[in-house]
A = this chain, B = another copy of it.
């Protein structure tokens, strides 16, 4: 007879690992995003499975998926094992992520220009030199 002990993590450890308050971890459990978390003497004992799931939650949430959408995704994945729906949700979300990425790159360039512009204004004012013109920064790459 062989017994294998599974490595588990306390809620405080998980909280630190994923940089999420313990209250948020409990909240995700209330919503059903995390479930079947075993208790050791009444305390949550997260397994690697739960950490993987939490990683997915963070990844999807950080890319703009709502917790409700995450519930749907996990429902399709876990309960129904509905691959068509799972793929559909994933495909749609991936599309959105690509759009986000394109938009964020645009915004990053815009903000970079603005940063340079304001630093140049500051220098010009301090050194009594000619003020920069935003038109010179508008569609220019640095």
Tell me, in angstroms, the Cα distance from A86 to B125 when the chains sit together: 14
Tell me, in angstroms, the Cα distance from A84 to B110 when the chains sit together: 20
Tell me, in angstroms, the Cα distance from A84 to B86 when the chains sit together: 50
Interface residues on A, range: 20 to 34
Binary interface encoding of chain A residues 19-59 relative to chain B, with 1 for a CB under 8 A from any of its CBs, else 0: 00000000000000000000000000000000000001001
Q: Given A107-B62, A110-B59, A115 and B101 touching (CB < 8 A)?
A: no
Which residues of chain B come closer than 8 Å to A56, judged between CB atoms? 114
Sample of 7 A–B contacts (CB below 8 Å): A56-B114, A62-B104, A90-B111, A90-B114, A97-B107, A97-B108, A100-B104
What is the interface of chain A, defined by CB distance below 8 A to chain B? 56, 59-60, 62-63, 83-84, 86-87, 90-91, 93-94, 97-98, 100-101, 103-105, 107-108, 110-112, 114-115, 118-119, 121-122, 125
